[in-house]
Structure 1
């Protein structure tokens, strides 16, 4: 089934059908290359977050849940797949060749996010 048709069916049945874009990023060079690109990568992601183009990002464990192997997941808000690809390609980590990525569309239909804001304590809890 084509993506547009699936998205329409999801909306017709009352699902959210929020389209985001997921980049699964993995090391392509050694740890020293990844580490060298890290400050520029984090600055780039901070900029995207302020602009509203970065939904979520962070490292992932291996299958055991115990070891970090340098894999990461980046979820973009973009107008379409090409715009999301441009965001991923502009990431200094990917530009340097320290990491490569696979980009996919992701349709969010269900789930929840809880936000608790303490007005007097100025504390925010997200779960």
Structure 2
């Protein structure tokens, strides 16, 4: 019987760096209702205010709600990606979110390594934002 191979995380990080991948370590928070949707709705405004503070501070990489599997409703779930120095710091950011500190949602944090993808910015010097037609 063969043993299932294992790959230490730090070895994968090193491999990614050696192979010219970005190897940017970020922290993904999955956030799910603890007691139904009502407590989530009650904490939505302070939660968004907190998330916006993290965004302005440069901590928030991305955040937003998750649709139900059938795409018909929002069940109160969310996903956030933090820039943090460590798992402990990312966990502290999540603990301080009013959604979590109030008990409306529970959360888990996992380190994520951003390796591939692209990002571009379009800047308009005059006339503001173009009209979408």
SS in 1 for 2:71: coil
Within-5 A mapping of 1:1-127: 1-123=7-129
Q: From the two aligned structures, give the one with the greater strand fraction.
A: 1
Report if aligned partners of 2:37, 2:75 keep a CA contact under 8 Å in 1: no
In the alignment, structure 1 segments of 5+ residues that lack a partner are: none
* The 10-residue stretch of structure 1 (65-74 or 48-57) with the greater mean CA deviation from structure 2: 65-74
**Greater C-alpha radius of gyration:** 2
Aligned residues: 124
Q: What SS does the corresponding residue of 2:76 show, helix, strand or coil?
A: strand
Q: In structure 1, how many angstroms separate the alpha carbons of the residues matched to 2:119 and 2:59?
A: 18
Q: CA deviation at 1:4?
A: 1.5
TM-score by length of 2: 0.87
Distance across 2 between alignment mates of 1:96 and 1:43? 15
Query: What is the CA-CA distance between 1:117 and the residue it aligns to?
Result: 1.0
| Structure 2 unaligned residues grouped into runs of 5+ | 1-6
